[in-house]
Structure 1
Amino acid sequence: MSDEPISSLPGVGPVTQGWLEEAGIRTISDLEAIGSVEAYRRLKFMQPRRVTLNALYGLEAAMRGCHWLDLPQDVKRALQQQAKAVDAAFHRGPASRCTPI
């Protein structure tokens, strides 16, 4: 694990870096500890209209040290399924904590 700043990862530009830092992900170690899907979930809830599947691909690729276009197809398919689950949770909204009367 690395305590290098998140900005040292390939493909993480200043906008994404700012979002990640706002989400509490400041170092490569932080990202490795939670993984690309959890990082995507946090960013999606913060910036729902701006964060897309490509952000998830980019985060995963950055962790692997490659370009997102070079991710294997099986990895992309798995990420697509996980992104759909995150997006569905976002659209459902917060779960009700009260029982209807």
Structure 2
Amino acid sequence: MSDAPVSTLPGIGPVTRGRLEEAGIRTVSDLRAIGSVAAYRRLKFMLPRQVSLNALYGLEAALRGYHWLDLPQDVKTALQREARLVEKGLPKRPASRCTIA
């Protein structure tokens, strides 16, 4: 395990680093301990509209040490299934306007 900042992983830029830190994931060890799907779940809960499937690809690829475009298709397919499960578990947002007459 590594106490290196999560930003030392490939593909983790300043925006993702900031979001991960806000989610309590500060080091490579933190991210490895919870894994890409749990980290994605935290980020998606915090910022549902800003965090996309590409974030999950990026987190998984960073843990593997390469660019998300290089993830094998079977890994992407598995991550897509996980992302759908995360989406189902997110709280439903209230209507943007009051519906009481």
CA distance in 1, matches of 2:24, 2:79: 22
CA distance in 1, matches of 2:73, 2:56: 14
How much has 1:91 moved relative to structure 2? 4.7
Q: TM-score w.r.t. structure 2 length?
A: 0.89
1:6 corresponding residue in structure 2: 6
Q: TM-score w.r.t. structure 1 length?
A: 0.89
CA distance in 2, matches of 1:44, 1:18: 14
Structure 2: which 5+ residue stretches go unaligned? 94-101
Pairwise mapping of residues 54-69 of structure 1 onto structure 2 (< 5 A)? 54-69=54-69
1:98 corresponding residue in structure 2: none
How much has 1:42 moved relative to structure 2? 0.1
CA distance in 2, matches of 1:28, 1:88: 28
* Poorly superposed stretches of 4+, deviation over 4 Å: none
Pairwise mapping of residues 1-101 of structure 1 onto structure 2 (< 5 A)? 1-92=1-92
CA distance in 2, matches of 1:92, 1:83: 16
* CA deviation map 1:9-54 (0-9, x unaligned): 1111111101100100000000000000000000000010000000
Counterpart residue type for residue 52 of structure 2: T
Structure 1: which 5+ residue stretches go unaligned? 94-101
RMSD: 1.1
